[in-house]
Amino acid sequence: MEKAAERLIRYAGINTMSDEKSDSCPSSDNQWDLARAIEKELIEMGLTDVKLDNNCYLTATLESNTPVKSPVIGLIAHFDTSPDMTGENVKPQIITNYDGKDIILNKKEGIVLSPKQFPELLKYKGQDLITTDGNTLLGADDKAGIAEIVTAVEFFLNNPEVTHGTVRLGFTPDEEIGKGADRFNVKEFGADFAFTVDGGEAGELEFENFNAALATLNVRGRNVHPGTAKNQMINALVVVNRFINMMPPEMRPEHTAGYEGFYHLVDINGTVEEATARFLVRDHNRTLFEEKKERLKSIADFLNNIYGEERIELQIKDQYYNMREKVEPHYHIIELAARSMRQAGVEPIIKPIRGGTDGARLSFMDLPTPNIFTGGHNFHGRYEFIPISSMTLAVESIKNIIINAEGL
């Protein structure tokens, strides 16, 4: 088994699920367990300047061994796994020589990973896969990224005759809840540019992502006895439903792809007296993004006019922006990654991210940070899997990026 795969399996056994309700950093104490384990590993490997700070940001340095002036490269991944599904008691399974048929993840519960639902599985017939046991996520997002970075850097420590410039490693908490870059010290990190290793299928190379906002709708109703409610009751839940029905249905995630933006209803909570709803607002185009936010404000104003008083409060908070405007002026970074992937034997798949990464925030903090693949599929759920061969391609691509950056 490849070293990166061994590391992923070891890391996956440590629960690092982040907590979006927490205001602490990291949001969950268990992220420290993985951070400290990797800190020890990096020190034992022989990296320098290994530092785990008070907020669970771990950094380290692979020192340059060449007199050739070269840029300082950053490699970044995150400890935490999604709070959408438990990361506790993860038990990875290795499916050797996958036969192209259904994979029984959990016989007792009848949980099956099938190419009928996930046809991309058939690309990996004859290969070895790491899967879940059907009860948890796997956590390849982004423990695979960490494992691949560490494995790539270990190569240079074991082969000092291969010359390279300085490489900075950065492992962060809370990316899954949008806080991974909150306390990242770009100046202290000291990289000229960086890559997050946080993508999916082998070959993915991304420097475009959504502009993103969170819209929170609060509705104050009026509750009276239903027997005497005529012209008196204002049901807050009904008002929320009315708000939702005024949003364009074709702009839901299940009806969009590629560069198309969307509104995504995340949750509804409440009673007749008071109700809330949260929406994700997404678009790659900044103008369309602003228009989407204005549409929500117009719906809120319209309903407030109907009810004759300010019963509807809408709060919209921008979360991150499309990194393209910050990365594109440094397009040689993308060319470096693409060339390095081809040398590893994988054709780059340059496409927009229908989501976001720490790299989006970091790019707007003057650290251009596109995203490259880990090789994983179906992140955040029980059907997550990653081919070991794809992890190897990621390691080779990272090694090539480091080598090719010498003298850039």
Integer Cα distance of 142 and 12 in angstroms: 10
How far apart CA 157 and CA 339 sit, in angstroms, is: 23
Give Cα separations from 249 to 245, 258, 315 (angstroms): 8, 17, 21
Q: How far apart are CA 82 and CA 85, in angstroms?
A: 6
Q: How many other C-beta atoms lie within 10 A of the C-beta of residue 346?
A: 22
**What are 283's strand-pairing partners?**
211
376 vs 378: CA distance, rounded Å = 7
Nearest residue to 52 via CA among 72, 71, 31 = 31
Tokens read off for 185? 């010290």
Tokens 């709803």 locate to: 277
- Report the relative pairing of strands 193-199 and 73-78 from DSSP bridges: parallel
Cβ contacts of 122 within 8 Å, gap of 6 or more: 100, 115
Beta strands 73-78 and 167-172 are: parallel
∠ Cα 235 240 244 (to 5°): 145
Q: Which residues pair with 312 in a beta bridge?
A: 219
Respond yes or no on whether the N-terminal peptide bond of residue 142 is cis (omega within 30° of 0): yes
Distances in Å between the Cα of 17 and the Cα atoms of 21, 33, 134, 292 are: 12, 11, 17, 31
The secondary structure element, H or E, covering residue 196 is strand 193-199
Selected catalytic residue, list 39, 80, 148, 201? 80
| CA 309-315-317 angle, 5° bins | 165
- The single residue of 175, 198, 201, 208 carrying the catalytic annotation is 175
Paired tokens of 27: 């949001």
Answer yes or no: 175 catalytic. Answer: yes
Cα(14)–Cα(406) distance, integer angstroms: 36
Q: Is the link from the previous residue into 26 a cis peptide, with omega within 30 of 0?
A: yes
Q: Is 80 a catalytic residue?
A: yes
- List of long-range contacts for 294-297, beta carbons under 8 Å, 24+ apart: 295/247, 295/248, 296/215, 296/247, 296/263
Query: Annotated catalytic sites, by residue?
Result: 80, 175
